[in-house]
Amino acid sequence: GIGRAVAVALSKAGARVTALSRTAADLESLKRECPGIEPLCLDLADWEAVEAAVGAAGPFELLVNNAAVAELQPFLQVTRSALQRSFDVNFGAVLHVSQIVARQMIAQGVQGAIVNVSSQASKRALRDHAVYCSTKSALDMLSKVMAMELGPHKIRVNTVNPTVVMTDMGRINWSDPQKSAAMINRIPLGKFAEVDDVVNSILFLLSDKSAMTTGSSLMIDGGFLVS
């Protein structure tokens, strides 16, 4: 939900948008909604295919890394496959796509911006989220190192760190009143984030209005971390 909404918002703002997903039906639906968007159907775990396709689709001035998986398991039951897939998508794919795009930016002399979609789970332990929390913590630190090394090339790198977001998936996963109440009670604003809350923050970090911001994590958590 977040990735689609970002793509639509950027397209409506006049950007030339390339949307990457491994789900062809989602890309076809997006293309019908915004005919100007260029779809790219890829599995981010396939490094060679990503290298070729993203390299050919560029160069880009802006990048949003949003793809992620959440395989929730109690710590004692974490499987190797869940560990590997989670780090491949939530961390490895971000590193790889960012490398490709940043090299293009540097070659073109572009003062670019990269936003990585992280989570409040990078900052606070959550039950059954051992792997997910760890991948998002790793993503936060990767983003800081990227900001340090890409800064001299005038490329900014930041993360947004939302709480639970009311995407279609979010509404399903948090439909149990008992489960949702336990989380909402820890959020001072007393509600979960809407998709637009995240999209607007991403657009801010991509824009010149945040020209002096890099290496930062923008919390979109309703105050979750202060409680």
Is position 132 annotated as part of the catalytic site? yes
Whether residue 217 is contained in a domain is answered as yes
pLDDT of the residue at 217: 98
Identify whether 5 is part of a domain: no
In the chain, count of helices (H) and strands (E)? 9, 6
Q: The CATH number of the domain where 149 resides is what? A: 3.40.50.720
Is there a contact between 105 and 155 (Cβ–Cβ < 8 Å)? yes
Q: How many domains does the chain have?
A: 1
Structure confidence at residue 29 (pLDDT): 95
Does a structural domain hold residue 1? no
Q: What is the mean pLDDT of the chain?
A: 95
Structure confidence by residue, pLDDT tens digits, 4-57: 999 999 999 999 999 999 999 999 999 999 999 999 999 998 999 999 999 999
Task: Please determine, for residue 135, whether its predicted confidence score (pLDDT) is greater than 90.
Answer: yes
Q: Under a CB-based contact definition with an 8 Å cutoff, are residues 1 and 170 in contact?
A: yes
* Whether residue 101 has pLDDT greater than 90: yes
The predicted pLDDT at position 178 comes to 87
Tell me what pLDDT residue 175 has. 82
Q: What's the domain range around 100?
A: 61-226
Q: What is the pLDDT of residue 179?
A: 85
Instruction: Write down the catalytic residue from 132, 205, 222, 224.
Output: 132
